[in-house]
Amino acid sequence: MIRAAIIQFDIRRGELERNLGIVKRRIASLATKGVQFVLLPEMWSTGFANEHLKELSETTPRVLDDLSGIANKLHLTIIGSLPEKRGDGVFNAAYVVDSDGSIAGVYRKVHLFSPTGEDRYFKQGRKAVVSKTSLGPIGLMICYDLRFPELCRSLALGGAKIVAVMAEWPAERVAHWEVLLKARAIENQLFVLGANRCGADDDLVYAGHSRIISPYGEVMARAGKRPATLLATIDLRAVERTRKQIPCLEERVPEAYG
């Protein structure tokens, strides 16, 4: 059994100390609740302060040091997306900080959302990542990735029993968010955790509506549009039960799909 939490909050663009402070306080409040896994939203430390990305990305090593200390002290696995400076560019990168404080995996966002110019500010990741953690294999996706079923399927085939989705998904497309989270869980017969931000940047309002979804498509925990902390107990045996009952993955016919 895994006691999982999602922290949904209003990320302030460029305000690292304020965002980090909220996360630290919210994680500390979970210490007595038996939580083993905490999922944070996309770009949770800085938001999309695109004009200052390179400068802000230089704060990420310090943020990771803080998370590593917290993870080790509280025996938590913490996952969230941060700006990562590599060479002359910046990636939108999901870091997996395991319960001993080590970095168990890094996923760099593959699908950049061109309508808001992500492809102008970020470098593109090139591979799917299933991170081997103390809790088991966890697949990683970031926001726009959710619209690409091929990516989530590759994570399932790569051994993931949980897929963590970090997002800054807008309120005007909240119906898509909810349907796609369920679809990815049902079609791949695994747990999907979707951590979305709430609040607004100027005129752009974010949906919130974070979710924890079972392999059957059951919504185990849900948030509305305000800051919230979601909790649910995940039984990984449900993945095998679901796949045994309806053997979709075993009965795939890849040669028929072109």
Q: Is 24 a catalytic residue?
A: no
Q: Is 42 a catalytic residue?
A: yes
Per-residue tokens: 148: 């690409």
Q: How many C-beta neighbours within 10 Å does residue 70 have?
A: 19
Encode burial over 197-213: b for 16+ CB neighbours within 10 A, e otherwise: bbbebeeeebbbbbbbb
DSSP sequence for 38-65: EE--TTTTT-S-GGGHHHHHTTHHHHHH
CA distance 99 to 133: 8
As a whole number of Å, the end-to-end CA separation of the chain is: 39
Q: What distance separates the 2 farthest-apart alpha carbons in the chain?
A: 52
Measuring CA to CA, which residue among 233, 207, 200 is closest to residue 10?
A: 200
When computed from its CA atoms, the radius of gyration of the chain, rounded to whole angstroms, is 17
Which residue in 84, 85, 143, 161 is the catalytic one? Answer: 143
CA distance 48 to 170: 13
Which residue in 85, 109, 123, 182 is the catalytic one? Answer: 109
Per-residue tokens: 150: 């091929």
Q: Is 143 a catalytic residue?
A: yes
CA distance 162 to 37: 11
Which residue in 42, 84, 118, 168 is the catalytic one? Answer: 42
Q: Enumerate the active-site residues.
A: 42, 109, 143
